[in-house]
Structure formats: structure tokens, C-alpha cells
Amino acid sequence: MPQEVLAQAASEMLDWPDTTGRRCGMGVMEMSHRGKEFMSICAHAESTLRSLLAIPEHFKILFMQGGGLAENAIVPMNLSALRAQPGHRGQTDFVLTGSWSQKSFLEAQRYSETHLAASAQACGFTDIPDPACWQIRPGASYVHICSNETIHGVEFHALPDLKSLGSDAALVVDFSSQVASRPMDWGHVGLAFGGAQKNLGPAGLTVVVVREDLLGHALAICPSAFNYQTVAANGSMYNTPPTYAIYMAGLVFDWLQRQGGIAAMEAKNIAKSQALYQAIDTSGLYVNRVHTDCRSRMNVPFFLRDEALNEAFLTGASAAGLLQLKGHKSVGGMRASLYNAMSLTGVQSLVAYMQDFEQRHA
């Protein structure tokens, strides 16, 4: 979270001021979600997100709950029947590029006939299979990708154009750890979803952006609160939305605009990630095994060639104020997450520490 946003939220916590600065006598957590104050907060968050990400009018923005993992079930419950034959389960195709797309693939098996269009598992998730070689079924309702694999540090630097691959399937994108870090090509997208807790705000809010023509195909078993059409028809207020998380996300969206918008964030994210990859690639101690053309700008996993130094590396980092560098338990090593709120100075401090540590252990 940007410090500025936390400070603003703290100053408004007990008594929220509207855009004219007039205090309303209650904090955001105390408001009715249907009262005019919160309705204005929610509408502002939605319209700022739409303008920041240049989301076209024929896409709905839904504020939901349940996070990315819940969407792994909610997406097939809503979209798998799009192109299904009567009496048959819908077909859903997946591209495996790491742990998160793998989880999505496994969950969708409960609701649809799944199929692997491509997988990078054999190379240890260090590359993205060339879209030209994806085996997309002609009857697939959608193709699911994870645009940034948070654990393996693999990112799509361009979204695939399924039409040009000869497919009418919708593209579903898990953008949990990529959203708002760079512009998004909506022309290629049917639906995108993500938990807010990386680049958008605190945990508890899930953002879904869905093309209108994909609504209205939910399976009968889909809970009403998770039916995109119902959520859209009620302006994300079918059930009580995560009001405080929406308010905080709105403050983050305002902050992003003050930073110069998404193009400015992208430039900053390129600079941050390049500084770290360069330090890794020019060192004799650290290594990142992801193919250079799909390395993530948001999550940089790296390993110490001498794993016996891992604990000393983490202890020294923590003493230098560099926190949360331990890699995900499923892959080990280290991981630096460079979300929007991380500054270039923060990355430079990490690089300086890494170089110093390497010198001391050469």
C-alpha cells in the first residue's frame, strides 16, 4: 500500500470527508452500503478504475469477494456453458504457466470438461508456450491464462489474440498480480479477474471485468451472489460489498492517477525490475532461471547458488529493513515482489544489499 494512501485513510477513519471536504459524522466502516455517502465512494472507485485501465464501456466492472481462488470456481460456473452443446458440460481450455494457472485448471474440473491447450510444466515453469502452438479446442467456451505467475515469476508481456489463432473462445485472464502495473489490451479479453491485495488495495475485494455479451450463461448451480449477471444488474450491491476495501482501493486509484496513471507506473515498473534482473544476471551468486522474454516485472524469484547461505541472506536482509524476501514454500529460494507501491529506491536498497552480501561471501 502506498504510504500516502495509508495516511489519508488514517486521517479519514473516524469521520469521512466528501469531495468538498465536508465531514459527514461517521467513518466509512459505519456507513450503510446503500447510503449516498458510500454509493458516491463506490461510484468514484469504479469510474476511476475504468478511466485508469481504459476499460471500454461494453465491459462491466464488478466488485466481488472470495479472491482469486473463488474466481477459479466462479468463472467456470458463469462461462463454461457459453458454447456448450445441449446436455453436455462446457469445454474450458487452460494454458499452464505456473502454480496459479494450475490451481485454476484443477478447480474448473469440478464444473466443466477441462483440457490443457499448452503447458510449461516440463521446463519447470520457466517459459510461456508459444501461442501459435496452443491446442485450443474448437468448442472451447474460453481459454484461461494467468497473465503473471506470482510464484514462478513468469509474465505475459502481450496477451494472446485468440481470434488470430483461429479460435472463437473468450480469453479469461487471472490478472491478480499484474493488474494496474501496465496497460491492458481489452480487445483481446473476455473476462479478467483478480484479488485486490497486490496492486489495488487491501485483501477482501475481488475485481472482475467482464464483457457484457458473456453474461447470462451461468450454470443452475451457481450461487446467486456469484452470478455475474446478478452482480452486474445490482451494481455490485446484490449482497453487501466489502465496503472498506472498496474505499481503500478508490484511494489507491486516486494515488495512481496522481502518479501519472498506468503508463507512468509501467515505466517505473520496467525500471525497477530491470535494476534487479541486471543485478542478478551480473552476479556470480544469484540466479533467475526464467526465460528473459517472459520474466515478471512484479515478482522476481531468485536463488542463491549456494543454498547454505539462504538463512544468512534473509537474516541480514531483515536487519537492513528488507522484508518478505523468502521465496514461496513450493519453490524455495528468494522472491522480491515489486508491486506498484514499491519505490525504485527500495529496489536499489535491495540491489546494494545483495551486492554487499555477495562480496562478503565470495
Residue 285 or 300 with smaller CB distance to ligand PMP? 300
Subset of residues 195 to 254 that bind ligand PMP, contact rule: CB under 6 A:
195
Q: How far is the CB of 72 from ligand PMP (least distance, A)?
A: 8
Instruction: Assess whether 198 carries a catalytic annotation.
Output: yes
The catalytic position among 100, 134, 268, 272 is 100
Q: How far is the CB of 26 from ligand PMP (least distance, A)?
A: 29
Q: How far is the CB of 360 from ligand PMP (least distance, A)?
A: 33
Residue nearest to ligand PMP (CB): 67
Q: State the binding string over 146-185 for ligand PMP (x if CB under 6 A, else -).
A: x---x-----------------------x-xx--------
Q: Kindly state whether residue 97 participates in binding ligand PMP, applying the rule CB under 6 A.
A: no
Q: How far is the CB of 95 from ligand PMP (least distance, A)?
A: 13
* Near ligand PMP by CB under 6 A: residue from 49, 62, 67, 112: 67
Q: How far is the CB of 195 from ligand PMP (least distance, A)?
A: 3
Subset of residues 289 to 328 that bind ligand PMP, contact rule: CB under 6 A:
none
Residue 198 or 268 with smaller CB distance to ligand PMP? 198
Q: What does the H/E/C string look like for the chain? A: CCHHHHHHHHHHCCCCECCCCCECCCCHHHCCCCCHHHHHHHHHHHHHHHHHHCCCCCEEEEEECCHHHHHHHHHHHHHHHHHCCCCCCCEEEEEECCHHHHHHHHHHCCCCEEEEEEECHHHCCCCCCCHHHCCCCCCEEEEEEECEECCCCEECCCCCCCHHHCCCCEEEEECCCCCCCCCCCHHHCCEEEEECCCCCCCCCCEEEEEEHHHCCCCCCCCCHHHCHHHHHHCCCCCCCCCHHHHHHHHHHHHHHHHCCHHHHHHHHHHHHHHHHHHHHHCCCCEECCCCHHHECCCEEEEEECCHHHHHHHHHHHHHCCCCCCECCCCCCCEEEECCCCCCHHHHHHHHHHHHHHHHHCC
Instruction: Assess whether 272 carries a catalytic annotation.
Output: no
Residue 176 or 243 with smaller CB distance to ligand PMP? 176
Q: Kindly state whether residue 128 participates in binding ligand PMP, applying the rule CB under 6 A.
A: no
Q: Kindly state whether residue 142 participates in binding ligand PMP, applying the rule CB under 6 A.
A: no
Q: Which residue stretch of 6-14, 61-69, 158-166, 235-243 sits at the interface with ligand PMP (rule: CB under 6 A)?
A: 61-69
Burial of 217 (0-12, 13-18, 19+ CB in 10 A): buried
The span from the CA of 216 to the CA of 211, in Å, is 11
Instruction: Assess whether 174 carries a catalytic annotation.
Output: yes
Q: How far is the CB of 153 from ligand PMP (least distance, A)?
A: 11
The number of residues that bind ligand PMP (CB under 6 A) is: 10
Active-site residue list? 100, 174, 198
Residues in touch with ligand PMP (CB under 6 A)? 67-69, 100, 146, 150, 174, 176-177, 195
